[in-house]
Every structure is written in structure tokens, then in C-alpha cells.
């Protein structure tokens, strides 16, 4: 059974700081997803990656398949980045089932 662990659970940062959120998983996967959830519930997909690194604006996601570990980095953090960040894994090319981590609550203070 795949388990997805995230750390830290809660993170408070000053505006402008570099932020890292970590995700580890227990079995081989075909893709790792990073999602952002704002207060109120809506979820937005940030990245889907199966190897290497992806970058979108100030967000960078990396994955190390051998170590079963992924990180989400936010450069020059801003209060609007405050949200819950969730990683989730899928296994199998046609897999419909995601295993989610519990999320990391990020608060960026001006």
C-alpha cells in the first residue's frame, strides 16, 4: 500500500523567503502531483511530474525516483502563496486513483 508523507505539516515564513516542502512516498509511482488548496476548499493542480524538475514562475518541483522523494520550492514567497500544499502520487499509466498526503499549511507573513 502506497503511503505519502509530507513535511512540515505547518510552515510560517516571512515574505521573500525561500520555501521548501517535502514529500516522500513508499512505492514506485508513475507520477507525482503537487496541488494547492486555498481556504474554502478549491484545489488547483500545480505540477505533474515523473522525473527531473519542472518550473512555473516562482514555483519549482523536483522528484528523485530512486529516493522516492519530491520537493516543492517557492522562491521570493508572497502572502498570496499562503495555502495548503498537497502532494499526491499515482501508480500505473492508466491509474485513476491518487494517494494524497495530508498537506502542508503555508502562511507567508508580510
Partner 1 sequence: ETGVTQSPTHLIKTRGQQVTLRCSSQSGHNTVSWYQQALGQGPQFIFQYYREEENGRGNFPPRFSGLQFPNYSSELNVNALELDDSALYLCASSWGTGWSRNEQFFGPGTRLTVL
Residues in contact with partner 1 by the rule CB under 8 A: 4, 30-31, 33, 35, 40-45, 48, 50, 86, 88, 90, 92-98, 100-103
Report the nearest approach of partner 1 to the CB of residue 73 (Å).
20
Q: Which is nearer to partner 1, 75 or 97 (CB)?
A: 97
Report the nearest approach of partner 1 to the CB of residue 19 (Å).
19
How many residues in the chain?
A: 110
Q: Which is nearer to partner 1, 40 or 110 (CB)?
A: 40
**DSSP labels for 26-67?**
SS--SEEEEEEE-TTS-EEEEEEESSEEEEETTEEEEEETTT
Report the nearest approach of partner 1 to the CB of residue 101 (Å).
5
Q: Which is nearer to partner 1, 18 or 38 (CB)?
A: 38
Cβ–Cβ under 8 Å, residues 23 and 103:
no
Closest by Cα among 70, 65, 54 to 29: 65
Amino acid at each position: 500500500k502506497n503511503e505519502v508523507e509530507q513535511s512540515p505539516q505547518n510552515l510560517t515564513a516571512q515574505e521573500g523567503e525561500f520555501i521548501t516542502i517535502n514529500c516522500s512516498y513508499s512505492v514506485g509511482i508513475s507520477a507525482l502531483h503537487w496541488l494547492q488548496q486555498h481556504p474554502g476548499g478549491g484545489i488547483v493542480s500545480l505540477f505533474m511530474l515523473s522525473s527531473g524538475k519542472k518550473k512555473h514562475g516562482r514555483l519549482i518541483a523536483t522528484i528523485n525516483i530512486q529516493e522516492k522523494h519530491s520537493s516543492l520550492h517557492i522562491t521570493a514567497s508572497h502572502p498570496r502563496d499562503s495555502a495548503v500544499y498537497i502532494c499526491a502520487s499515482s501508480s500505473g499509466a492508466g491509474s485513476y486513483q491518487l494517494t494524497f498526503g495530508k498537506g502542508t499549511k503555508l502562511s507567508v507573513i508580510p
